[in-house]
Amino acid sequence: MPYAHITGWGMSVPEQVLTNDDISKMVETNDAWIRERTGIQERHIARDNQFPSTLGVEASIKALKIANLRPTDLDLIICSTSSPEYIFPATACLIQDQLGATKAGAFDLSAACTGFIYALNMGAQAIRSGSIKSALVIGSETLSRFVNWKDRSTCILFGDGAGAFVLQASEQPGGVLSAVMHSDGSGSDLLTIAGGGSRHPSSESTVLDGKHYIQMDGNEVFRFATRVMASATEEVLVCAGLTIDQVQWIVPHQANIRIIKAAARGLKLPMERYIVNLEHYGNTSTASIPIAMVEAVEKGQIKPGEKLVMVGFGAGLTWGALAAEWTGPIPSKGHVRPEQYRFFARVRSVVRRALRFIEGLLYRREL
């Protein structure tokens, strides 16, 4: 049975930064309160022309470059997102088209902030089963579009960004070691965007009621998170047959420093074992774990051969954890430049639209 190794990684955040001081000009809050209660100092906010696919493609090209893989080599693209560009089509399909990943199947996965763990596990399981050889797993969000900038309990938290991993099959042991996924829909009302779906289709009244905004019971989500972060970490270690001492790093969902500290206390671990970068990005939902991982790898914190646990929680409610051994790129011949495929992908996309148009005209004539 092949192993699923993480052989490429990349991240992308919008250049526009919103500081706590900037937010204090919009709502009754201040830098000291936000830092003390969340640990966040600033977050990145997408411009009008930046979408989950834009950020996802940028992160993916970096990941493919490190993996030395062409977009056309990919078998599967999974995009985890809670801020998809449309209800349908899937954001993953937009990314597939922009990358020119002509062979890949593509779908979105909705498990909120836990989504990247779910998606990485799904990609890894498809490789482990032998049905595919490579997968691109993306977590991408522009949740700022759904933030009520008059609600101080939520607008201080969220930021935009994307992270992407390439998974590849290898006979070499390692890569994704185990994963656990959990849900409890009885808490579905605790964190939600209620409007725009089929229960509350967009209308004047959904907008007047603010149903298009993120609504959250912060205290309940906080309590739930502190309960599950430590237990999911322990559970995934048992599945992997590892003890906590055999793991070098815990990479938690970057929601609130107090939640991460509570999880560390629960496991009696020093904070030095936790990868934390929420001060600069805020809560980027499903993108937070890959963004934290990519930064840690680039800084030389996480090294090949080291073992780690990714652990997250979010709306749904969902929570989960994934244990992995960090491999790094599989040595390969040649030098692939995935960014060059973007031009061909654009041309291909235009040509396919034109052909579809011509085919439509011919088909109509035949009828």
Residues at the interface with ligand UT7 (CB under 6 A): 29, 33, 37-38, 113, 152-153, 156, 216, 218-219, 221-222, 225, 255-256, 283, 285, 314
Provide CB contacts within 8 A for 292, sequence distance 6+.
Answer: 251, 252, 254, 275, 276, 277
Q: Which is nearer to ligand UT7, 103 or 261 (CB)?
A: 261
Smallest separation, CB 316 to ligand UT7 (Å) = 10
Smallest separation, CB 52 to ligand UT7 (Å) = 16
Q: Which is nearer to ligand UT7, 57 or 225 (CB)?
A: 225
User: In the annotation, is 155 catalytic?
Assistant: no
Smallest separation, CB 317 to ligand UT7 (Å) = 10
Q: Which is nearer to ligand UT7, 225 or 232 (CB)?
A: 225
Smallest separation, CB 17 to ligand UT7 (Å) = 18
Q: Using the structure block, give the residue that is written with the tokens 């070499």.
A: 172
User: In the annotation, is 113 catalytic?
Assistant: yes
Q: What is the rounded distance in angstroms from the CA atom of residue 140 to the CA atom of residue 128?
A: 25
Q: Using the structure block, give the residue that is written with the tokens 């085919």.
A: 359
User: In the annotation, is 182 catalytic?
Assistant: no
Closest residue to ligand UT7: CB criterion: 218
Q: Which is nearer to ligand UT7, 7 or 38 (CB)?
A: 38
**E strands, 110-170, where?**
134-141, 161-170
- CA neighbor of 324 nearest in space, from 301, 343, 346, 302: 302
Question: Of 93, 121, 253, 256, which is the active-site residue?
Answer: 253
Q: Which is nearer to ligand UT7, 132 or 157 (CB)?
A: 157
Q: What token pair was written down for 308?
A: 């780690």
Smallest separation, CB 261 to ligand UT7 (Å) = 12
Pairing of strands 215-216, 105-109: unpaired
Provide CB contacts within 8 A for 350, sequence distance 6+.
Answer: none
Q: What is the rounded distance in angstroms from the CA atom of residue 58 to the CA atom of residue 110?
A: 21
Question: Of 113, 121, 155, 256, which is the active-site residue?
Answer: 113
Half-sphere exposure of 339 (CA within 13 A, CB side): 7
Which residues form the catalytic set? 113, 253, 283
